[in-house]
Chains A and B, each alone.
Chain A
Amino acid sequence: MREAFDMMAFVDAAYLLTGVTTLAVVGWCWLAMRRAERRREESRKP
């Protein structure tokens, strides 16, 4: 017997996973960069 799939549920899952993962990586890299550059500025202070 052929299984019936709601294709859009799989499409939604793929889009959600991609959106969340991409934004998480971009946000994490941005925050890490800001933190590291702030630390470098602080290390310049006498």
Chain B
Amino acid sequence: MHFYANPARFLKIARWLTMPLLLVGLVLVGVSLVWSYFSMPPDRLMGDSVKILPIHVAAAWLGMGGWTTIAIASLIELVWRHPLAAIAARAAAVPGAVFAFLCLATGSIWGRPTWGTWWVWDGRLTSMLVLLFLYFGYIALTSALAREGASSRIAAIFGLVGAINIPIINRSVVWWNSLHQPPSLTMGNSAIDAVYLYPLAGATLGFSLLFGAVVLMQMRTILADTQAEARLRRKAMVAGEGQ
């Protein structure tokens, strides 16, 4: 793991990976969504609104995946003081928040014709909304810490504590009565017919690649900003000493 702690080594790999992840992700998402939009037959209960599920499920997976990334990176930062871990955690926050928002928005759009309501305050929807607010808090906190040049350890602790919400989201449909359906996909099992499952898997993989590309782009941005600022500060100090 410490092999990748060197920013120069990481940047070399990130530069090589960003474009393929971005292009393959965009193509896979495009193909999967065209496939689901035009080829998915209406479901017996949901009708045509079943076409929303590939987006909604992928967004839910990545909304939770984003915070899991933050929690793992935060743990690595706190335990091993890995210099890139804090940057990785910060980089995962924006795409994670976007996918949490898309999960809530597409779920709401799906719920209106299917459940007859845009929103219900049940366990699954409420815990997902809490996740979105946790993202907002985390983004505000990390931005403020970066602006002040303060240690990111407090953000790492926030990232770890916030991870408590992930199993709550996952188990909410089992623990509490909910309009939301119970899990259709579990380890090695699927209650979804292949005609719905393949576009869903394609969209999930495609959005996951895009998520990876966005995290790498965000990490490169943070690293470049940090290096540029350090150089400019050094130049200013040298110029100040020369006078």
Q: Chain A interface (Cβ within 8 Å of chain B)?
A: 3, 5, 7-8, 10-11, 13-15, 17-19, 21-22, 25-26, 29-30, 32-33, 36-37, 39-40, 42-44
Distance in angstroms between the alpha carbons of A18 and B112 in the assembled complex: 17
Indicate which residue in B42, B116, B210 contacts A26 across the interface (CB closer than 8 Å): B210
Contact B98 A25 (CB under 8 A): yes
With contacts A39-B228, A40-B228, A44-B231 taken as known, whether A10 is within 8 angstroms of B214 at the C-beta atoms is: no
| Closest chain B residue to A39, Cβ basis | B228
| Closest chain A residue to B34, Cβ basis | A15
- 16 chain-A/chain-B pairs, Cβ below 8 angstroms: A7-B47, A7-B49, A7-B113, A10-B109, A14-B110, A21-B98, A22-B210, A25-B94, A26-B210, A29-B221, A30-B22, A32-B217, A33-B218, A37-B221, A40-B231, A44-B231
Contact B113 A18 (CB under 8 A): no
On chain B, the residues within 8 Å of A25 by CB distance are: 94-95, 98, 214
> How far apart are B28's CB and chain A's nearest CB, in angstroms?
12
With contacts A10-B113, A15-B37, A40-B228 taken as known, whether A33 is within 8 angstroms of B220 at the C-beta atoms is: yes
On chain B, the residues within 8 Å of A8 by CB distance are: 48
For the complex with contacts A11-B37, A32-B217, A32-B218, 5 further pairs of A-B residues with Cβ separation under 8 Å are A5-B112, A22-B29, A29-B218, A33-B218, A36-B221
Distance in angstroms between the alpha carbons of A8 and B116 in the assembled complex: 15
Q: What size tier do the contact residues of chain B reach?
A: 35 or more
Q: Chain B interface (Cβ within 8 Å of chain A)?
A: 22, 26, 29, 33, 37, 42, 47-49, 51-52, 55-56, 59, 94-95, 98, 101-102, 105-106, 109-110, 112-113, 116, 207, 210, 213-214, 217-218, 220-222, 224-225, 227-228, 231-232, 235
**What is the predominant secondary structure among interface residues of chain B facing chain A?**
helix
Contact B110 A10 (CB under 8 A): yes
On chain B, the residues within 8 Å of A26 by CB distance are: 22, 26, 210, 213-214
Distance in angstroms between the alpha carbons of A5 and B29 in the assembled complex: 27
Distance in angstroms between the alpha carbons of A14 and B224 in the assembled complex: 35
Indicate which residue in B95, B210, B220 contacts A37 across the interface (CB closer than 8 Å): B220
Distance in angstroms between the alpha carbons of A18 and B235 in the assembled complex: 44
| Closest chain B residue to A29, Cβ basis | B217
On chain B, the residues within 8 Å of A15 by CB distance are: 33, 37, 51-52, 55
With contacts A36-B225, A43-B228 taken as known, whether A11 is within 8 angstroms of B220 at the C-beta atoms is: no
| Closest chain A residue to B18, Cβ basis | A33
> How far apart are B87's CB and chain A's nearest CB, in angstroms?
13
